[in-house]
Structure 1
């Protein structure tokens, strides 16, 4: 794994190369869309996809999974599942730790029959009617061994894993792979599409800002001042290394999350307040949505999160305690060792060109009344405010300690839980 570069007075402003050498773009050019749509409507069997399937189409279409060009065929699936990487035709490898697959049932398999190409349909957001969103070419159908997939991805088959319960368990017993052609850019029309910035667009924004280093921070929770400490310290470290203009990609996850996570629209409003309040500098921060669904698969999934950011031009990735982790669904403990995520990232095959920046745990330091890095020698001075505790404060209209979160951001959360409680009572 690449380590942090040694200090230097001058740094190249060229962005890190995407995996495979070229960024994948699977959206059909506008001039070709009518003919592709007509072909799909007239000649292809139709497969209805789920909301999460559409999120994966979004991910694939914009090149987050470059060089992958569609839902995985069996050889790609097996490499991903057993090796956490894909081997390219030139012998090189790229990291790929999560299977990006499309499941179908027996009836779907029969409907496809011997057809080489299929049309994928999803409900339109405006009227709910089904429409064709993509074409899958040169398809291959193979067995979906759910137990093997679950065990190798999560390291357990314990009941209660959110992505398993809601996505994999009800899915069909077959997987269909092929080359994807997306008939138009994926839009959600939820007021947040302006934040759904593709890897190509992000690269353009980083170039416009003349960034000579790009560092990414992913989270699926509201930003508190401990997170801000990590991000601001990272920029300081990069400046000390000799970079002139490090730019932060604040990149919350925008796909499937478990039911008790704060919804995306609330998180984005809260993140915007963090920028408005000056906790993070808007001039050196790009706020955007990462469209991937969340697996909560710990060290396996965090590789995917890091790999995808390479394709957006990121060359430094912040990783802290228990990335992509969760509590064990049955036992009272963490599902994964909290330190394994950052250790795995520092030696994962295919991530050698990405610089991993591990950080210590931040907590509320009662001796100075602000968030600081935890010091074991005076552990009694630190207060750990978990996501559960934070939600409890907001639900009960209790203020957290001064210095935990910017006031504007906290007001967003309090308002959200007030509305949630009112709706539940009604």
Structure 2
């Protein structure tokens, strides 16, 4: 008689311990030190399962069909009324008290109706609102948790509330008065704006774009209920063919036989650094064992702040990136994500990731300061640039999504192309993107190097002065929508030097300085506004031409708005 204990591990092999009875003590489980291969009567035997492959160097992520990744809460909701019922539903909506929607409210109706916020079936009632606001998640009836980091709510004023009276349902009308939907089994509750702003953005500072545009002008009540959308939301702007629903995207992934889908969201034009990142991600997925990873290039298409490049310009630029072969059209799907942008940093990036789960993506690329922005009243970032990716790795309800932090890409002036930043040869790299001021990186390196050899923190102030002088020399970038002020550099400089003094490598400290200040040559908009070409290899020619035309049109528009000079 013997007792066999099988211990399973993550590898394709498992261990089986066979314990035989001893003549004197029954089951003998004593293991003598230094005799692991000869101990008796405990024998160690390896068994290879018949239907499992041989061991590999590492265990790749499981390869599963994209359509098999369940949406949050199970089946995708589809809240658009079937075509045969639309006539009757429209007549009913006309008889109900009306709530007038803003353009951004309609964007949220679009988001909810297609299942991006699955399993949400309408604007949040109070219980859902409080869970989202305080827990960044919703607990479903079966006890499971889904991520829901942004409250998706509809505000009404006191006059509308009185007009609704005791009605259980209301009709929702768009900005032009056309009926959009019915909201059923409604619940009206207080809209505590200060609490909502503080918990969503972590600050109540003035100047937050979504707050200024949406929340401050909104009414003092919120109305929740179940949506019935009378017909699919269309914008008739020439871009509706890009607005693929989660259901449509899943069908397209299946048509292309995708075994992995990696999503990349951006609200800026695509340069070759972005392309390098996306192509490198596909290479990594192929190395993990996937056969046909598909990229979902998913620009945000709802509300954005005034100085962001408009959606139509971005989509034209993205199409040129595919036409020029920077991204492979066979392995890339370009679609519009209809959500409005909050610029709420780590809180909002959870929403961006969660929505892509519902579309079938199992990998999500996240970078520095996702969904972030500069502080509206102080010269610093509103959020820590690393917190977004850290929060995504811990957020409740996002466990089935694989988070892929991306490496920093910059322009390699030696190779004359975009490449991943190498701190050991930092002087050879130029940072060209975004909206910040022009700085020469080699001079920043010199300033940092000069202070590196000094062991007194008073030299941090000298470094700060040198860096600030560079900013002033570069001047601020004046655009048609305002002037961009220089960033405060003293704290990041001190932080970088302190890292060196505490034993961190020179390269790590320098990288910290770069990432925490956004330093580098942020030249893209400056180049485009002045008509100057960027360095070769920064962006595909077709895409760059689109941006130049856009900024030329802005300058022409600005010129026509300037008052004529009065001669004396």
TM range (shorter): over 0.9
State the 1:380 CA deviation. Answer: 2.0
Please point out which of 198, 202, 213 is paired with 2:249.
202
Measured in 1, the distance between the counterparts of 2:434 and 2:90 equals 46
User: Could you tell me which residue of structure 1 aligns to residue 373 of structure 2?
Assistant: 326
State the 1:39 CA deviation. Answer: 1.0
**Match runs of 1:344-383 below 5 Å:** 344-383=391-430
**Deviant stretches of 4+, over 6 Å:** none
Measured in 1, the distance between the counterparts of 2:324 and 2:301 equals 23
SS at match of 1:216: strand
Q: Larger radius of gyration, structure 1 or 2? A: 2
Q: Does 1:98 align with 2:232?
A: no
Q: Does 1:163 align with 2:210?
A: yes
Measured in 2, the distance between the counterparts of 1:193 and 1:244 equals 31
Matched-pair contact (CA < 8 Å) for 1:7–1:242: no
Measured in 2, the distance between the counterparts of 1:294 and 1:14 equals 26
**Match runs of 1:309-324 below 5 Å:** 309-324=356-371
Please point out which of 21, 30, 34 is paired with 2:83.
30
Matched-pair contact (CA < 8 Å) for 2:66–2:253: no
SS at match of 1:308: helix
Measured in 1, the distance between the counterparts of 2:207 and 2:90 equals 40
Instruction: Say how many residue pairs are matched.
Output: 416
SS at match of 2:267: coil
State the 1:7 CA deviation. Answer: 4.7
User: Could you tell me which residue of structure 2 aligns to residue 396 of structure 1?
Assistant: 530
Sort the Cα spacing of 1:341 and 1:235 in 2 relative to 1 into closer, same or farther, 3 A. Answer: same
Measured in 1, the distance between the counterparts of 2:549 and 2:104 equals 28
Measured in 1, the distance between the counterparts of 2:162 and 2:306 equals 34
Measured in 2, the distance between the counterparts of 1:80 and 1:9 equals 31
Matched-pair contact (CA < 8 Å) for 1:59–1:292: yes
User: Could you tell me which residue of structure 1 aligns to residue 180 of structure 2?
Assistant: 133
**Match runs of 1:47-62 below 5 Å:** 47-62=99-114
Q: Does 1:306 align with 2:349?
A: no
SS at match of 2:104: helix
State the 1:231 CA deviation. Answer: 0.4
Q: RMSD of the TM alignment (CA)? A: 1.3
State the 1:6 CA deviation. Answer: 5.5
User: Could you tell me which residue of structure 1 aligns to residue 479 of structure 2?
Assistant: none
Matched-pair contact (CA < 8 Å) for 1:7–1:240: no
State the 1:420 CA deviation. Answer: 1.4
Measured in 1, the distance between the counterparts of 2:324 and 2:58 equals 34
Q: Does 1:229 align with 2:276?
A: yes
State the 1:135 CA deviation. Answer: 0.5
Measured in 1, the distance between the counterparts of 2:270 and 2:63 equals 30
Higher relative contact order (CA 8 A, sep 6+): 1
State the 1:402 CA deviation. Answer: 1.1
Measured in 1, the distance between the counterparts of 2:111 and 2:536 equals 39
Measured in 1, the distance between the counterparts of 2:86 and 2:319 equals 36
Matched-pair contact (CA < 8 Å) for 1:363–1:382: yes
Compute the TM-score of the two structures, normalised by the length of structure 2: 0.72
Unaligned 5+ segments in structure 2 are 1-56, 436-522, 561-568
Provide, for residues 226-250 of structure 1, a one-character-per-residue CA deviation record: whole Å limited to 9, x for no partner.
1101100110000000000000000
